[in-house]
Amino acid sequence: MTDAVTQLTRELIAIPSVTPDDGAGQAPLRDRLAPLGFQLEDMSEGNVANLYARYGNQGPVVAFAGHTDVVPTGAEEDWTHPPFSPTASGAYLYGRGAADMKGSLAAFTVAVERFLARHPEPQGSIALLITGDEEGPAVHGTPVMVRRLAERDEMPDYCLVGEPSCSERLGDTVKNGRRGSLTGEMVVLGTQGHVAYPHKADNPVHRALPALQELVETEWDAGNAYFPPTSFQIPNVRAGTGAHNVIPGTLDVQFNFRYSTERTKDDLKAQVHEILDRHGLRYDLHWHENGDPFLTEPGPLVNALTESIRAATGVDTHLSTAGGTSDGRFIAPHGVQVAEFGPLNDTIHQVDERVAMEDLERLAEIYEGVLERLLTET
């Protein structure tokens, strides 16, 4: 029993499912779910493998969302153990995807097996939405499955996303929401010329600096009880020909908002344009909407999760909306209660990614507890 989650995690890690080439990365899950009575549906699109599995035909529906794709390993010689040869060393299991998020996939699968062994006729249904395109563009993965489920009015009531959420110890953090992400790609237009004759040129760098300074110094909002204040960051700036005596003709600036539920993407866009226009800039600006903020306040899902964590670990969890985006951003807008919980995130996307084997077992216990609390009579 205690080795079941670790063994399945090993099987999943051994498949080099680097995004978006999932290969046979979902086969071990199919092999475990089909004998339980799950109806398996291939929702793949393009070169992305998507698996939708459902047990039962009544509500409420408790879903688990996750991904089998992993990020590239980097130079494999930098790894202590080969990244796709799962290796137990001390208390840890090493391998690409151990924490993000093949350990969570294994834990939920084992949790379902144990739950259905005790409750073959639960008071509701269990579903899994598994994609091979979370670490990549995230275009042909979860959004495709969500769209198809919404079209046939089959969206789940609750969705537990297995992203690695914890910081110091298993159970310390549940993500009950995420900030929105909005990226701007801007080209400030000027006139190229010789630095010795600035009156014959128009330097877009000089023109843009006051506006950029105002954007950096603006307080976009004060946040709220669940979200920190909206942040504005400039990750990339590029101008010039490389020559010391040429005034550039254009300035390329990329900026990003991570925003709270106090703001919308439309009013952020409007405020940015107002600032740029007031400073008299000539510019082209293209927006990329990476995801709206979402929040699941304490209720059935969050309560079931926090109670299960406390029962399995003794930890009183902290609710957080910090960090980047996840596929929860595609699910929550359909009125689904969404929460994210998984193992420690201290080694994700790193060389020698690892997960504590004891945490894998506890994680399965927590996921089983959530099913128990949501799908059985109390």
What's the pTM value of the predicted model, to 2 decimals?
0.89
Q: 221 an active-site residue? A: no
What distance in Å separates the CA atoms of residue 53 and residue 63, rounded to the nearest whole number? Answer: 9
Q: What is the pLDDT of residue 1?
A: 41
Q: How crowded is residue 172: how many other Cβ atoms within 10 Å of its Cβ?
A: 17
Q: Report, as ranges of residue numbers, the positions in the chain whose pLDDT lies below 70.
A: 1-2, 378
pLDDT, one tens digit per residue, over 22-47 is 889 999 999 999 999 999 999 999 99
Residue 349 counted as an annotated binding residue: yes
Q: 252 an active-site residue? A: no
| Burial zone of 334 (CB within 10 Å; 0-12 exposed, 13-18 middle, 19+ buried) | middle
Residue 244 counted as an annotated binding residue: no
Residue 67 counted as an annotated binding residue: yes
Residue 194 counted as an annotated binding residue: no
What angle in degrees, to the nearest 10, is found between the helix axes of 357-375 and 103-118?
A: 40
Q: What is the pLDDT of residue 291?
A: 87
What distance in Å separates the CA atoms of residue 324 and residue 175, rounded to the nearest whole number? Answer: 11
Q: Which residues pair with 187 in a beta bridge?
A: 252, 284
Catalytic residue, candidates 22, 134, 292, 361: 134
Catalytic residue, candidates 45, 69, 353, 365: 69
CA distances (Å), origin 250, targets 184, 214, 286, 330: 16, 20, 15, 36
Overall size of the chain counted in residues: 378
Residue 42 counted as an annotated binding residue: no
Q: What is the pLDDT of residue 136?
A: 84
Q: What is the pLDDT of residue 319?
A: 95
Q: Beta strand 294-295 with 39-42: parallel, antiparallel or unpaired?
A: unpaired
Q: What is the pLDDT of residue 377?
A: 76
Backbone angle region of 29, left / alpha / beta, with phi > 0 → left and psi within -120 to 50 → alpha:
alpha
Q: Which residues pair with 249 in a beta bridge?
A: none
List, in order of start, the domains of the chain with CATH numbers. 4-178+293-375 (3.40.630.10), 180-291 (3.30.70.360)
DSSP string of 300-335, one letter each residue = HHHHHHHHHHHHHH----EEE--S---THHHHGGGT
pLDDT, one tens digit per residue, over 267-301 is 999 999 999 999 999 999 999 998 899 999 999 99
What distance in Å separates the CA atoms of residue 326 and residue 323, rounded to the nearest whole number? Answer: 9
